[in-house]
């Protein structure tokens, strides 16, 4: 399919893809005593089943056309399935595995209480970059979360309004969806219509 893409210039290729979650082909299914993730009724469902506080689950698309590379823009619609419980939705980005049990990454979590947290995880320790209490999040309906990555800078938008930005230390294109809780009780987040448009930078030819 990629051979038919006509958007080719000297600096690389631009590709656009959308996953409406009509199938589960691009995302992992899993269930255990604590977490559940899978496609249901055209949405990607992420549930934390445990009563443990501050639990988090993260799911990335299988490596392929939905995996970001180089600079990219992406967006996804999310909805809180448990609006009466402290629920967080958002993204993991700029991820790398340090060793068998340690991972470095950044995360953006938006809660149904109206606040958001932007943080960096370094050697397993969380460093808060921003913790803000004012967003235009819809508690009882869908929310459009968008991200733009250019070089080392990520910009985030919620429902069409600029939310925040951060400049990372290494260029590690990566994106994953998350669900998290803060208080006891199972929580659920629904995701829909994952879209990504990326430019794959290619070396200039000597020919």
Number of domains in the chain: 1
* C-alpha closest to that of 45 among 71, 79, 83: 79
- Residue 206 has a pLDDT of 43
- Residue 207 has a pLDDT of 41
Q: Tell me the three state secondary structure of residue 170.
A: coil
- Residue 128 has a pLDDT of 93
pLDDT along the chain (207 residues), means of 10: 34 75 92 92 93 83 82 95 93 88 91 94 89 90 95 95 95 92 88 88 45
1 in any annotated domain:
no
CATH of the domain at 42: 2.60.120.560
Q: Which domain holds residue 184?
A: 20-200
Interacting residues of 34 by C-beta distance below 8 A, sequence separation 6+: 48, 49, 50, 52, 55
Tell me the CA distances in angstroms from 77 to 109, 143, 158, 195, one per residue in order. Answer: 14, 5, 10, 9
What residue has token string 């448990």?
82
80 in any annotated domain:
yes
For residue 142, how far is the Cα from the chain centroid? 16
Burial 122-151 (b: 16+ CB within 10 A, else e): eeeeeeeeeeeeebebbeeeebbbbbbbee
6 in any annotated domain:
no
113 in any annotated domain:
yes
158 in any annotated domain:
yes
116 in any annotated domain:
yes
Residue 108: CB atoms within 10 Å: 25
Whole-model pTM: value is 0.86
**CA angle in degrees (0–180, nearest 5) for 52-58-62:** 150
* C-alpha closest to that of 12 among 75, 100, 61, 71: 71
């Amino acid at each position: 399919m990629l051979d038919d893409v006509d958007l080719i210039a000297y600096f690389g290729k631009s590709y656009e893809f959308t996953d409406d979650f009509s199938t589960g082909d691009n995302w992992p299914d899993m269930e255990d005593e604590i977490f559940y993730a899978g496609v249901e009724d055209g949405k990607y469902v992420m549930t934390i089943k445990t009563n443990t506080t501050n639990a988090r689950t993260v799911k990335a698309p299988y490596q392929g056309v939905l995996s970001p590379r180089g600079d990219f823009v992406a967006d996804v619609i999310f909805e809180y399935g448990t609006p009466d419980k402290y629920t967080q939705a958002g993204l993991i980005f700029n991820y790398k595995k340090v060793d068998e049990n340690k991972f470095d990454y950044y995360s953006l979590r938006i809660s149904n209480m109206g606040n958001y947290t932007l943080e960096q995880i370094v050697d397993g320790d969380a460093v808060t970059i921003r913790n803000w209490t004012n967003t235009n999040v819809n508690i009882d309906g869908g929310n459009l979360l968008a991200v733009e990555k250019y070089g080392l800078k990520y910009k985030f938008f919620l429902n069409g309004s600029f939310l925040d930005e951060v400049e990372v230390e290494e260029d590690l294109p990566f994106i994953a969806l998350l669900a998290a809780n803060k208080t006891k009780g199972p929580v659920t987040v629904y995701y829909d219509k994952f879209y990504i448009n990326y430019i794959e930078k290619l070396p200039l030819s000597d020919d």
